[in-house]
């Protein structure tokens, strides 16, 4: 099993450009999450999904959109990138409904917006 | 805003010593989890302790939870250079136990 994978690993964008980050998991998990991590800080939740076809806002959702058309994939979009979105982005997933499972993380995507 | 706050922010110890990190949080929780992050990598789950548990062990890890003080501690015994990493506590609240709120982390350096 690959676990949680993220594409791409690195990206540099100019202000105003758009991009999509892809997260895929092969553990049949219901829940998926997108976080951002800024230097010296913990993770902050951007958006999350409690199942296929659902999405919800986290702590810092502004400037991002998400979609979960298939259970195994969770996409994070930046429509018009800003320098404040320079960060490392992590995707995570966790298990069946109703059980507090640990989260499994991908390796991260390092995004720089110039 | 972050629920869990770790203390200390950074810790440097000699190999073989014990390392203790503390986490404080603000609201009632369903469970508290600890994660490790090696430099440039994703987080890895270490241990989960539920709100009705007081202590849990896993290998060289010992976690305690004091819900009256809203605090937890992570003890790593007989530390190794490979334990060098950042350690984060994360809390899941009562209403949505699938969502975690992470603290800012403790950077641990274990000197050989």
User: A4 to chain B nearest CA, in Å?
Assistant: 10
- Indicate whether A1 pLDDT > 80: no
* A108 part of contact set with chain B, CB < 8 Å: yes
Q: How far is A103 from B78, CA to CA, in rounded Å?
A: 27
CB atoms within 10 A of CB B52: 9
Of B86, B19, B46, the residue nearest A39 (C-alpha): B86
- Indicate whether B63 pLDDT > 70: yes
Burial group, residue B57, by CB count within 10 angstroms (0-12, 13-18, 19+): exposed
Whole-number average pLDDT of chain B: 93
Contact assignment for A42 to B98 by CB distance below 8 Å: no
- Indicate whether B1 pLDDT > 50: no
Question: Which backbone phi and psi does A84 adopt, to 5 degrees?
Answer: -65, -15
* A103 part of contact set with chain B, CB < 8 Å: yes
pLDDT at A100: 66
- Indicate whether A98 pLDDT > 80: no
A4 is written with which tokens? 């949680």
């Amino acid at each position: 099993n690959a676990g949680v994978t993220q594409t791409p690993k690195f990206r540099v964008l100019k202000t105003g450009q758009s991009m999509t980050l892809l997260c895929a998991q092969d553990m049949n998990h219901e829940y998926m999450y997108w976080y951002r991590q800024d230097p010296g800080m913990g993770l902050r939740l951007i958006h999350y999904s409690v199942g296929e076809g659902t999405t919800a806002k986290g702590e810092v959702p502004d400037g991002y959109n998400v979609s979960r058309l298939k259970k195994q994939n969770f996409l994070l979009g930046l429509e018009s990138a800003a320098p404040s979105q320079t960060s490392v982005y992590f995707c995570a997933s966790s298990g069946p409904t109703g059980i507090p499972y640990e989260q499994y993380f991908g390796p991260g995507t390092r995004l720089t917006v110039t | 805003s972050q629920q869990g706050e770790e203390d200390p922010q950074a810790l440097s110890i000699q190999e073989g010593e014990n390392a203790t990190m503390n986490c404080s949080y603000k609201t009632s929780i369903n469970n508290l989890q600890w994660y490790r992050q090696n430099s440039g990598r994703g987080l890895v789950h270490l241990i989960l302790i539920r709100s009705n548990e007081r202590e849990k062990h896993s290998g060289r890890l010992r976690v305690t939870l004091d819900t009256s003080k809203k605090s937890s501690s992570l003890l790593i015994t007989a530390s190794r250079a490979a334990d060098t990493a950042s350690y984060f506590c994360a809390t899941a609240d009562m209403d949505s136990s699938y969502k975690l709120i992470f603290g800012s982390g403790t950077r641990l350096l274990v000197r050989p």
